[in-house]
């Protein structure tokens, strides 16, 4: 096998702008709610990407993994409750070679748009988004207050 000389791709060197969208796979707040497969999140994201590219717009790309969120809360009687639920995690980077020309606000808008589509497809009220060391929660029931 011959040795390959790798070189940095022109215009690919730039600041790292990583992102993450975490969306629940169990519909609603009920423990008995429908549980979606991560493939349904993948299908939704791919459709979003295709639509954007067909319109001549940039799109994010990334990797889906399945995870479980675990959490606890104080109960009124002084004890603690805890639970867990399955989630789909979409991780990626706004790679400089492809998206370096876009300001952070444009990437954030794309993240919010994709997260909203994932939330609607998977019956979620809350979505968790991270980008460049910042994070926020999108809530379908929030009134902006």
Quick check: is 98 in a domain? Answer: yes
Angle between the N-to-C axes of helices 38-54 and 104-121, in degrees from 0 to 180, rounded to the nearest 10: 130
Per residue in 28-58, pLDDT tens? 877 888 999 999 999 999 999 999 999 999 9
Quick check: is 6 in a domain? Answer: no
Higher pLDDT, 3 or 67: 67
Per residue in 12-35, pLDDT tens? 999 999 999 999 999 987 788 899
Quick check: is 8 in a domain? Answer: no
Specify the number of domains making up the chain. 1
Quick check: is 12 in a domain? Answer: no
Q: What is the pLDDT of residue 31?
A: 80
pTM, two decimals, is 0.90
Q: What is the pLDDT of residue 58?
A: 97
Quick check: is 135 in a domain? Answer: yes
List phi, psi (to 5°) of 38: -60, -25
Range of the domain at 73: 18-139
Relative to beta strand 80-93, strand 126-131 is: unpaired
Q: What is the pLDDT of residue 1?
A: 67
The conformational region for residue 132 under phi > 0 = left, psi -120 to 50 = alpha, else beta, is left
Quick check: is 120 in a domain? Answer: yes
Q: Residue 41 in contact with residue 127, Cβ under 8 Å?
A: no
CATH of the domain at 32: 3.30.70
Q: What is the pLDDT of residue 32?
A: 85
Q: What is the pLDDT of residue 144?
A: 53
Per residue in 63-110, pLDDT tens? 999 999 999 999 999 999 999 999 999 999 999 999 999 999 999 999
Q: Residue 100 in contact with residue 10, Cβ under 8 Å?
A: no
Quick check: is 47 in a domain? Answer: yes
């Amino acid at each position: 096998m011959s040795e390959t000389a790798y070189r940095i791709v022109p215009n690919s060197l730039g600041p790292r702008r990583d992102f993450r969208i975490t969306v629940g796979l169990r519909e609603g707040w009920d423990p008995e709610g429908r549980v979606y497969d991560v493939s349904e999140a993948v299908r939704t994201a791919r459709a979003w990407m295709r639509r954007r590219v067909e319109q001549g717009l940039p799109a994010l790309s990334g990797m889906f993994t399945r995870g479980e969120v675990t959490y606890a809360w104080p109960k009124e009687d002084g004890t603690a409750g805890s639970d867990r639920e399955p989630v789909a995690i979409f991780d990626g980077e706004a790679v400089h070679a492809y998206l370096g020309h876009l300001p952070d606000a444009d990437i954030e808008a794309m993240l919010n748009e994709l997260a909203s589509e994932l939330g609607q497809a998977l019956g979620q009220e809350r979505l968790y988004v991270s980008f460049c060391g910042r994070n926020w929660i999108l809530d379908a029931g929030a009134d902006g207050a």
